[in-house]
Structure 1
Amino acid sequence: MGRTSDAIAEGVSIASAAARLAVRNHILVETIARDAPFDVERFAAFAIETLEALAAEQEQAAELAQRLRKRAWGKHTDPDGTHDYRDRDMSNLRRRRRQYLGVAKALREQAADEDAVNDLVEQSRDAAWGDVEANLQRRLQAEAARPDLEDDYGQMRAARMQALVLVDLPRLAAHRRHVAAARGGAAVDSRPGRS
């Protein structure tokens, strides 16, 4: 299994990546889906909660390793399955427990360190922006068709116009109705010549 410190460092790296992913997703949901402004303090609080939850998971895993070790003590028969530990597994389970507790301690220290939390939020924000930017690039490439760059522009134009009429305009109209209803006003018909 290697050195305990190496395993702890790897565990912290994996948990930090999971925390970044969770915070990034939270930023995307709050700022895009809920149209909330980016507030570092609010996202920092979420980052702390995430780190604490990941630390608690590691502590639970340490407790499980301890219980499994107690059950394994004195058993010298062949195991019945993967998680049926025996006396010969005692040192491995002890090492795992130390590793889980080491990761939990590092995560709790990170959650208590304001600079580390702010770094996590900034990295998550950058990752969220990267996702948005990549999505916009894909959409612009797909939707910004130019006749001089595409051999089949004429054939695909009809399909794009049909998609505009059948998908995009109804979606826009539904969005405008939703916004108007949320404001308490009458829905506005977005079709040409209608109001």
Structure 2
Amino acid sequence: MPNAAADAHDATEVAEESNARVKRPRVADVVEEGIYIAAAATRLSVKNRILMETIAGGEGYDVDRFLPDARAALLALADESDAEAERVRREKKDAWRRFSDPNGTHDYGSRDLGNLRRRQRQGRKIAKALRARAEDEAALRQLVEAARDAAWAELAANIDRTLRMEAARPDLEPDYGTMREARMQALRLVDLAGLASQRRKRAKALAKKDAATAEGDTAPDAGASARAASAEAGFAERARARGIDPAELDD
């Protein structure tokens, strides 16, 4: 996994070196960038886990099942960020008594103490923020859902690519029966999971609308219903494109 603190700082150093007169980024901005990098790495890790367990392993998708994976990934990145901050602390300790010109990019001297202190502070703050996010169930669920969407997109692209090559014609596909069952399984494990998620969001939106109506607020909120309807239409279209009647999946 990438080191969020180091990656964020390296990006900052490149920007500073390209134009020394550019105002130095705030610590908060570097920390935010480090958290963004860590979130992207976590989504990738969980996405691969979902693909292995729900697709290759034939297991059903359940967001709660992957929360520990997201939490573990964030904590691992927090440990890496702390380790980076500790390494910078040791470099800072050696640099304060070094006054000669540097021999390389990471040959720090007394003139670099301010920069090293800033890097250490950034690493500690990123680690603290990642540990806080690892204990935030709502944030973890959001990461897992984003990973599921990425896994579905990757799987759908692979299946559609295969279908375009083979034209999904039984007379041209010797293993049509086996492949058809695999496509149905993919629809059940991934597409149906996404459809169910949209339906849950639609139900919550309708419940909020009913509550608002009861309180005298009748402002319409058709967004969730429209998204759910779009998801159902998209699911049916993908099923037919793979030679499957959506009604076959109801059981």
| TM-score using structure 1 length | 0.73
How much has 1:145 moved relative to structure 2? 7.4
1:138 to 146, 149, 161: 161
1:74 aligns with 2:97: yes
CA distance in 1, matches of 2:98, 2:75: 36
2:61 to 38, 52, 59: 38
Q: Which amino acid aligns with 1:95?
A: R
1:18 aligns with 2:41: yes
CA distance in 1, matches of 2:85, 2:165: 50
| TM-score using structure 2 length | 0.57
How much has 1:81 moved relative to structure 2? 1.7
Matched residue, 2:115: 92
CA gap of 1:37–1:145, structure 2 versus 1, over 3 A, is: closer
Q: Could you say what secondary structure the match of 2:59 adopts?
A: coil
Higher Cα Rg: structure 1 or 2? 1
In the alignment, structure 2 segments of 5+ residues that lack a partner are 1-23, 180-251
- Over aligned residue pairs, what C-alpha RMSD do you find? 2.1
How much has 1:83 moved relative to structure 2? 1.4
Question: How many residue pairs were aligned?
Answer: 154
CA distance in 2, matches of 1:57, 1:46: 17
Q: Could you say what secondary structure the match of 1:93 adopts?
A: helix
In the alignment, structure 1 segments of 5+ residues that lack a partner are 147-159, 173-195
Runs of 4+ in 1 over 3 A off after TM superposition: none
2:51 to 28, 32, 45: 28
Percent identical across equivalent pairs? 49
Q: Could you say what secondary structure the match of 2:69 adopts?
A: helix
CA distance in 2, matches of 1:145, 1:12: 43
1:110 aligns with 2:140: no
For 1:3-56, what per-residue CA distance to the aligned partner results, in whole angstroms no more than 9, with x for missing partners? Answer: 100000011001100011111111111112222221222200111001100111
